[in-house]
Amino acid sequence: MQARFSFAGLALAALPSLLFAVGCKAGHPGKVSTTSITWIKHHVTVGGKRDRNPLPSTPATIECGKEAFGSYCAACHGRDGQNTGVPFAASIDPPVPLLSSRSVQDYTDGQLKRVIESGIAPSGMPASKGILSEEEIWEIVIYIRHLPPAGSLGEPKAYSGDEYGDTSTSPSRP
């Protein structure tokens, strides 16, 4: 708690210079994260940075990851990893992040695996170690790298009651 608070303070204190940096060098958005909590997680607290995904990114592994994600993650992250149909996503604290966002995509595959294995205490993000196999976790990492357009898969089963989700509101429905 204490640590979180001071990290936030650090980020706030650095804001004016960040705005300045962004205003002057629009081509370097990566610099914005260097004084934030995101930076600390990416560089200090979340390990596994160099762990390589042993699986190739193929249509088959993406599909397997999508299936596992649909079973274990979609209730909170939406089937698309972008919170579609998750009623509490924005209102819980911390909110459920968009897995398509820069802050998530900037993790290495190995770090994503660690996040999934260990969860994020004390937030709502649960640990998957012992529930999902190593292979399933790596497949999910591949799926996170190949997320479909937001809303394209409809709602999670848990909320729609329909295995394939309600795609009636999908912007990308043919």
Give the angle subtended at the CA of 12 by the CAs of 11 and 14, to the nearest 5°.
65
- CB contact burial 90-115 (16+ within 10 A = b; e otherwise): eeeeeebbbbbeebbeebbbbbbbbb
**Least distance from ligand HEC to the Cβ atom of residue 16, Å:** 25
Which of residues 138 and 154 has its CB atom nearest to ligand HEC in the complex? 138
Q: Find out whether 99 and 76 touch, Cβ atoms under 8 Å.
A: no
Q: For residue 32, which phi and psi values (nearest 5 degrees)?
A: -60, -40
Which of residues 25 and 157 has its CB atom nearest to ligand HEC in the complex? 157
**Least distance from ligand HEC to the Cβ atom of residue 97, Å:** 5
**Least distance from ligand HEC to the Cβ atom of residue 85, Å:** 14
**Least distance from ligand HEC to the Cβ atom of residue 96, Å:** 5
Contact residues: ligand HEC, CB under 6 A: 41, 72-73, 75-77, 92, 94, 96-97, 99, 103-104, 112, 115-116, 120, 123-126, 128, 140
